[in-house]
Amino acid sequence: RPSFIPAKILREVVRYARDKGLFVNFLYGRNRPPQAQERIIDSIAHVKMVPLSLLEVYPDAVLVLDAAERDSFAQIPQADGRTIILRAERTDLSRLAADMESLRGRFKRLNVHLTGVERFTEQDIDCYETQLRIVARTLQERYAAGDEIEINALTDRMLLPQMNNCEAGVKHLTIAPNGNGYICPAFYHEDEAGASLGEWTAERELTVDNPQLLSIACAPICSQCDAFQCKRCVYLNKRMTLEINVPSREQCLIAHAERELSRQMLNKLRNIAPFNKLPVIRSLPYQDP
């Protein structure tokens, strides 16, 4: 696979995005791209998502960390406004609360992203819930002290009035280094040839087969669910249930564990503004819709 998207294709992507008024996210690997690509990237409003190895080069970028890099977390400068994405495998779950605590003061928003969900057991999900419960207690103390931070798995559901999922293939598409389009980067990494939507050009609109299946309205389970913070990952749907609009049990259990802990935390924060003005999250008699 090419390491970097060719400058010619990148230039066309940027020109197209500028003409259409689109915002662009650039996903970086562990190496800095050539100067030609850097100049093209910087010619349009965008967000860079970079690994820890490039943080010094791009201090204002969204930082993407693997939990296995925890020994290096202390090297990350303190920053009140940074967004961090923390990727955690099932083998990282038992240390998740400690990993998140070690990032204290280094982010404004922390997005926890679980990887390898297709291999999660119910014991793994129980462990994740236990770790989030520890984080929730710490987060309540920080809110009582006046801190204003967000941790997606615990705070997003309190603030969302409706589904706010990934929306891959609906609101955004991926242009890969090979010049082809994909529903999202995961499809590219999983099956570069088979998952391609075809070669992208500014003159050719990419089309998704049966695009209605990516819509929440055509997801019979998700459309009735109020775990609004759930990623509703269509890649995992396809991989685990063979249906792009049907979630796996694992995804539902994870989303509802997050939802329930958000509900409990909100109830305990009712005497603190602005939590006293947020709508009630109702209790549910189930964990898997």
The two tokens of residue 248 are 């796996």
Evaluate the CA torsion angle 116, 120, 123, 129 in order and state its sign: positive
Alpha-carbon distance 86 to 88, whole Å? 6
2, 177 contact by CB (below 8 A):
yes
Q: What SS3 class is residue 83? A: strand
Terminal alpha carbon distance of the chain: 40
pTM for the full model?
A: 0.94
86, 109 contact by CB (below 8 A):
no
pLDDT at res. 80: 86
pLDDT at res. 130: 98
Alpha-carbon distance 41 to 50, whole Å? 14
Alpha-carbon distance 13 to 24, whole Å? 9
CA distances from 178 to 123, 173, 175 (A): 39, 14, 8
pLDDT in tens, the chain (289 residues): 557 899 999 999 999 999 989 999 999 999 999 999 999 999 999 999 999 999 999 999 999 999 999 999 999 999 989 999 999 999 999 999 999 999 999 999 999 999 999 999 999 999 999 999 999 999 999 999 999 999 999 999 999 999 999 999 999 999 999 999 999 999 999 999 889 999 988 888 888 888 999 999 999 999 999 999 999 999 999 999 999 999 999 999 999 999 999 999 999 999 998 999 999 999 999 999 8
pLDDT at res. 1: 55
pLDDT at res. 70: 97
The two tokens of residue 88 are 């955690």
Per DSSP bridges, beta strands 109-114 and 150-151 are parallel
25, 49 contact by CB (below 8 A):
yes
281, 262 contact by CB (below 8 A):
yes
pLDDT at res. 2: 55
Query: Which helix (H) or strand (E) segment is 36 a member of?
Result: helix 35-41
Alpha-carbon distance 221 to 230, whole Å? 12
Distance of CA 100 to the CA centre of its chain: 16
